[in-house]
Every structure is written in C-alpha cells, then in structure tokens.
Amino acid sequence: MLKPVFQSDPLEHRADFQNALVGWFEKNRRDYPWRRTHDPYAVLVSEVMLQQTQIATVLGRGFFLRFLEAFPDVTSLAAADDEKLLKAWEGLGYYRRARMLRETAREVISRHAGKFPEELDALLDLPGVGRYTAGALRAFAFGLPAVVVDGNVARVISRLLDFRGVIDDSSGLKFIWDTAGLLADEDRPRSYHAGLMELGQRICRPGVPDCLACPVGAYCKTRDPQLLPAKKPRVTVTEVDEHALWLMDSAGRVLMHCERGKRRQGLWKLPTRTAEEVSGLSMVSESRYSITRYKVTLRVYTGGTAAEGDTWVAGDELLQLAMPSPFRRVVETLVGEI
C-alpha cells in the first residue's frame, strides 16, 4: 500500500509531531456537542456514553443532549430514581454504566461539595472513573496535562512505533500508556488528545488506513499498518435463543416483566419462557441482536399465561417504560399492528 516515507521519530521530535497533529486537528476537527463545553459533568456523561458505543449511535439518536436535558447537573442525576435514569439511558445498553454514573455524581456531591476535583488521584478515587476517564476529564474539562488512551489512540501509537506486541495484555498496555505519556502535549491537552483520537477514528482507522491523508505520516515507523495493532484472539461468539410472550387482555393491557437482580435490573421486557414452555405456541416475531459475546435470536409467541413477577401494563403506559432496545423494537412493532 502507498504510505509516506518515515522521516522522524515522534519521541525524538516530539514538538514537531505535536504541532503537526494539533495543526491538522484545529483545521479539520468535527463538531461534537461534548466539544462545545468544558463542564466536567457533561464531559463525564459523554465519556461514559462513548464507552462501548459508537459516536454515530450517540449522535444519531440524540442520547447525549437528551440525557443532559433530563439530568442537567450532578445534583439532578444524584437524585434520579431508577425508572427515570434507565428511561433516559434507554437504547445505549450496558445499563450498569448509567447507575455507576449516578454513583459518581453522588460521590462528587458528598465528598467534593458538588464540584469535580481536578487532581488525578482524586478523580481516580471516584466510583466508575478509571485512568482513561480521569485523563479525559483532566484534558477536556480542565485543560490540564493528561494521558488519554482509548482504542483509537492505542492503534495510532502501535503503528507510529511499529509495536508488534499485543496491545491488550499487561506488557502491551504498559507500553501504549507509557508511550502515550511521553508523546502527550502538556500545553494543548484538549486539542492534542482530541486530535489523536480523531486521527484514529477518521484516518488511522482499523484495517487499511488512509496513510496518504495522515498529517503525521512522516513520523510513522510501520510499513504495514494494516497488520497492526496485534491483539489477543477474540472470544468465541455464542449463539443463544430467547423466547418471550406477547399477551394482551380484553382491556388492552400487555403482560410485561421487570428485571430484578440481573444485568438489566429495573428494565421492562416481555416475559421470557423456556423453549419447552412456548412449544406449540404461534410465533409472531423473530429478530436478532448481539450483546457482549452472544448473538441472540429473540422469538416472540402469542399465547401462554402469566407467571409470578409478571405485570399487566396499560397500553398508554407501555411505551413509557424503560426497555432494552431489542424488546422495545418488538413491542413498538406489535403495538403498531394492533
């Protein structure tokens, strides 16, 4: 593949590397709503949302602005009940993130009088805040020196330094984080770190990168970037079947079930049953979704009976419930067919 010739080691010519990256970013930066604020609360919300969720998803469905409308500050989020919190987070998945975000808000209030600390150790002491999130808060909210490494940054660094070790074991992570710290621009942390992340999103992307458009191509050592970064073997994906009931009574109420003590605690879904329990029932919907290392086939049947823990929900209240996205899509479709 065509690629600029390596000319300068980015660690030896650090200032030149930083200037090239920041100059490119400031001319070509994308306008994300979280880049329009330095409010640490808003920055935290964006960073938590973007964990395990694509930027296009967060932007396209308005999750970020909608959540801030519901909970504009740490005080409102700290006081949120589960129902309202999960409804505002609905569609993003990994609902534990929403609850941990609320715990962070409560700690900021109880231990820091509602003001986010700026010191790295104090940020790391907040629940749910790891070294990436702490670095992002220091850089993007406070404009302070930081080290910020996400998947995009790890990929860029592995290619810049032609690092052939796997980046997701302890030694690889140490190399990436140590190198990121050596390369970081302490005077322009916002532009530098956002620029490095955007470089990975748009140009130094997974697979075959757009090397001819790279603003720091002259500092990149690897000759075969499409082979990097190296990672541990992927976890095997498991196929799973999920069976649910669609029941509506004469009053127009739909049978629903609220999860308790599980990953989706507090979320509503159609009641699920075993394959044996739905045997002989008529299937009215079939869809597929993925979650972590599972590919799930969700089949919905009409018929069956209520069981302990199931609840009849009035039709005008049904779509106001917080539901996992796969179940919401099914419910909205079936309601629309009535």
Residues annotated as catalytic are 47
| Cβ-contact 147, 180 below 8 angstroms | yes
| Cβ-contact 305, 245 below 8 angstroms | no
SS3 of residue 20 by DSSP? helix
Name residue 141's amino acid.
Answer: A
Using a 10 angstrom Cβ sphere, with 0-12 exposed, 13-18 middle and 19 or more buried, the burial of residue 57 is middle
| Cβ-contact 64, 46 below 8 angstroms | yes
| Cβ-contact 323, 91 below 8 angstroms | no
Residues 310 and 326: their CA atoms lie apart, in Å, by 19
Rounded to 10 degrees, the C-alpha dihedral 285/290/292/295 comes to: 80
Phi, psi angle pair for 307, to nearest 5°: -130, 175
Residues 322 and 315: their CA atoms lie apart, in Å, by 14
SS3 of residue 294 by DSSP? strand
Residues 172 and 290: their CA atoms lie apart, in Å, by 28
The residue ranges of DSSP E strands in the chain, in sequence order, are 238-246, 254-258, 268-269, 272-273, 282-291, 294-302, 310-313
Helices (H) and strands (E) in the chain, counts: 15, 7
Residues 234 and 293: their CA atoms lie apart, in Å, by 9
